[in-house]
Amino acid sequence: MNANLPAPLPGPDDPGDNEARVQDNFWRKLRRYARRIPFAEEAVAAWYCTRDPRTPRHIKGAALAALAYFVIPTDALPDILPTLGFADDAAMFWAVWQMIGKYVTDEHRSKAAEALDAENLRE
């Protein structure tokens, strides 16, 4: 890959690459921006869903693609832009949430709430 080109956008067909991106960057970025992200709790619940062995592979792939888009620094709108920075991330996440939401269990949601509380990332 040419060093001058941005990293390719994540897709559900390469869950291994997306999983590595998410594993390396998700919590770090969440800790930094959680209070500015309206979908933080759902994103963490989706992360727990990807860790659950009962979650179907295609759902994990879609969730990892959305979470990788959130953590990738070269997306459509830079996250440093006030108000607009996470608009594209939110749109991507909510589109995928329509597919994965029914696989996110109460257990995933509970773990997400506990994790956000433990990190003091909820208001």
Q: Could you please report the per-residue DSSP string of 28-63?
A: HHHHHHGGG-TTHHHHHHHHHHHH-TTS-HHHHHHH
For residue 25, pLDDT over 90 is answered with no
Q: Mean pLDDT throughout 13-32? A: 75
Every domain of the chain and the residues it spans? 31-118
For residue 46, pLDDT over 50 is answered with yes
Cα separations in angstroms, 10 against 54, 87, 110, 115, 116: 23, 17, 27, 25, 25
Indicate the DSSP class of residue 84.
T
Q: Which residue has the tokens 């956000």?
A: 116
pLDDT tens-place string over residues 47-97? 999 999 999 999 999 999 889 888 876 654 555 555 566 777 888 889 999
Q: Return the pLDDT at 102.
A: 96
Q: Return the pLDDT at 103.
A: 97
Least confident of 6-20, 32-46, 67-81, 105-119: 6-20
Instruction: Look up residue 105 and give its two tokens.
Output: 């269990």
